[in-house]
Amino acid sequence: MKPIIGMCLVFILGCCKSEGHWVSATLEGYDLRECACCGGCLVKPNDAPDKVFQWYQKGETFGITGLDTFPMKVMINYDVIQQSCIASDGEIEINELVKIK
């Protein structure tokens, strides 16, 4: 009986969504270079200070528009996307974003 309860507990805990990891970052502005893998918004997360990532605003923009003043300080929860065409240190998907005033 104990192995069954243990397996059920592992299954239930494995299905729970984990708390996101918030990181301060700077949105540098839109990537206006003209190349096949350019575009999106350039992001410098503080947990990777020597890297600049591209963020393509797919759907949710989190209130970021071309009318905003860059660079902009933000807090983000993001994931690095593997195997994408980019012209920077990588592409990220921002799951949550809060502007810092």
**Segment 71-100, tens digit of pLDDT:** 999 999 999 998 778 888 999 999 999 999
Cβ atoms of 70 and 28 closer than 8 Å: yes
- DSSP, collapsed to helix, strand or coil, labels residue 14 as helix
CA atoms of 1 and 14, how far apart (whole Å):
20
DSSP 6: H
Identify any residues that bridge with 78 across adjacent strands, giving them in sequence order.
Answer: 94
pTM comes to 0.73
Pick the CATH number of 19-99 from 3.30.70, 2.40.50, 3.30.1380, 3.40.30: 2.40.50
Q: Which sequence spans correspond to the domains of the chain? A: 19-99
**Segment 29-61, tens digit of pLDDT:** 988 988 888 888 999 999 998 999 999 887 767
Q: Across the chain, which distance is largest between two alpha carbons, in Å? A: 63
CA atoms of 18 and 64, how far apart (whole Å):
26
